[in-house]
Structure 1
């Protein structure tokens, strides 16, 4: 009889063990009248967002622990939404087992933009904390709501727009229309710099353009101070003259809105390097010492199909090293002016693309040609 009892106990234990293994999550029996939701104790406030201090702490949300009727780990999900939306499109901003969470200026600014708040316009976020048991959100309870007022700043560098009579023929949409999304732009060095840069293609000789500080209209536009349109000196007024590009081509454009100067440098791009059939072009090499790329105004990129060996390449303009781009060493295909050589690990036939269409965010790609 004793042996039978032992066997029955073993079978019962095995059944219980299998039941536990098969369940993804344990079932918690919580008496609602014995459970207390988390309570945010941080006061409603206005948070100042300063893009010059992006790594500083901006906001810490603190709450009292949720109380369940037995001891078990509790997970807290911090939910954020634009004020007045009743959390309809809420964002799960963070998950933690602690009872506080801190955002930096940068992270809170990005969260506000993601939630739909307008740049440079005061708005409000609502924050709530949802407690739960287990990893599947079991027995969830909502906290009270914290309201935060803030003004998000732009995460994009300042821009200038270049509307002109060249746009349609050059693949940039409508002529003289800064609001056209294809209108070329220049981008500043940083958030406070007056120095702007970009590359623009002009299909025709004697193309005309102006420079506008917004893509809305021509208010505050920059033009040439001289009737020739080629002086290199800017004048900011509706009576300014058009800037003229006498010879068609692909130009690097530099503008300084503080010094009121501009420059147009015609560029033709090529690839060189130890991986190419011609090898690295010497410092003062002339024509035919590198491999010319071809510009396509529809795709707005330079390209060539070329047989490469293992080694390195770089891009340079005008058969010279005055303008050259190399790797920025981040491994993401982005380029730095004067950057390091770009490694070619394996020999073969490649489509090489140089993309200078996004100001100060220049990229390249090497795509093997497969038969």
Structure 2
């Protein structure tokens, strides 16, 4: 009797393996078909983005659908941008969707352009294309591309440097601080004379930072930061963590 049970168990195991193998062999194969075709915006599109219109529609990106052979499944689309002429070596994602069009607000497009490393308040040549995949990441296909012109605005706070050590002294306007999207820090590289500096928001005294006397830390309304020797300096400010460094080059 035990032998009969063993034979039955072995038979069932072989049958199960055979069925699984058949399932794999008969599984539908999905292959790339035709790539999506970008329709709009085309290369004659140009826009100057402004903060006071950030809720307005900047443009509507439209494209023809991508096709895949085999079983029908959901196709996901990604709008990508890159610096013109780079062949999308380092693309930036603007938006993801399963639809065939996407309205982009001024704020959305501005954020994508800044994240792509483009310069604010300057006209930039921006390549746009569509990427399609089956499911989350499978079988990517890429559309044609168009080169649009976009002038983004700075979406970060306007921090500046003021004080007797700066080029403008204690007078308005402040010396602008550059913002680094990657590090989230502000910086100034240039000449300073013997004197003092502070950091101000929007060229006003309502929000200003100085030294708090504790290891290069900032405090709201803190003490003036001394510059004892004239020369070229690199000043870096981390507003979020209330830290700064000042280094003579």
Instruction: Give TM-score scaled by structure 2 length.
Output: 0.61
| Structure 2 partner of 1:197 | 207
Match of 1:186 among 192, 200, 219: 200
Match of 2:192 among 177, 181, 196: 177
| Structure 2 partner of 1:130 | 131
Query: Alignment partner of 2:68: what SS?
Result: coil
C-alpha offsets along residues 168-217 of structure 1, whole Å, 9 cap, x if unaligned? Answer: xxxxx999728xxx94221129xxxx77531335xxxxxxxxxxxxxxxx
| Structure 2 partner of 1:94 | 95
| Structure 2 partner of 1:116 | 117
Q: What is the RMSD of the two structures over their aligned residues, measured on CA atoms?
A: 3.8
| Structure 2 partner of 1:161 | 161
C-alpha offsets along residues 210-263 of structure 1, whole Å, 9 cap, x if unaligned? Answer: xxxxxxxxxxxxxxxxxxxxxxxxxxxxxxxxxxxxxxxxxxxxxxxxxxxxxx
Contact 2:201 2:207 in 1 (8 A): yes
| Structure 2 partner of 1:66 | 66
Between the aligned partners of 1:117 and 1:175, the Cα distance in structure 2 is: 23
Structure 1 position 77, deviation (Å): 2.2
Structure 1 position 36, deviation (Å): 1.5
What does 1:35-46 align with in structure 2 at a 5 Å threshold? 35-44=33-42, 45-46=45-46
| Structure 2 partner of 1:321 | none
| Structure 2 partner of 1:51 | 51
| Structure 2 partner of 1:12 | 18
Structure 1 position 87, deviation (Å): 0.9
Query: Alignment partner of 1:112: what SS?
Result: helix
Structure 1 position 148, deviation (Å): 1.8
Structure 1 position 125, deviation (Å): 1.2
Specify which structure has the higher proportion of strand: 2
Between the aligned partners of 1:82 and 1:52, the Cα distance in structure 2 is: 26
Between the aligned partners of 2:84 and 2:189, the Cα distance in structure 1 is: 39
What does 1:258-337 align with in structure 2 at a 5 Å threshold? 295-301=212-218
Structure 1 position 68, deviation (Å): 2.3
**Structure 1: any 5+ residue segments left out of the alignment?**
21-25, 167-172, 202-294, 303-314, 318-356, 364-371
Between the aligned partners of 1:100 and 1:175, the Cα distance in structure 2 is: 46
Query: Alignment partner of 1:102: what SS?
Result: strand
Summarize the Cα distance change of 1:65–1:177 in structure 2 as closer, same or farther, 3 Å threshold.
Answer: same
**Structure 2: any 5+ residue segments left out of the alignment?**
1-7, 167-187, 223-236, 243-249
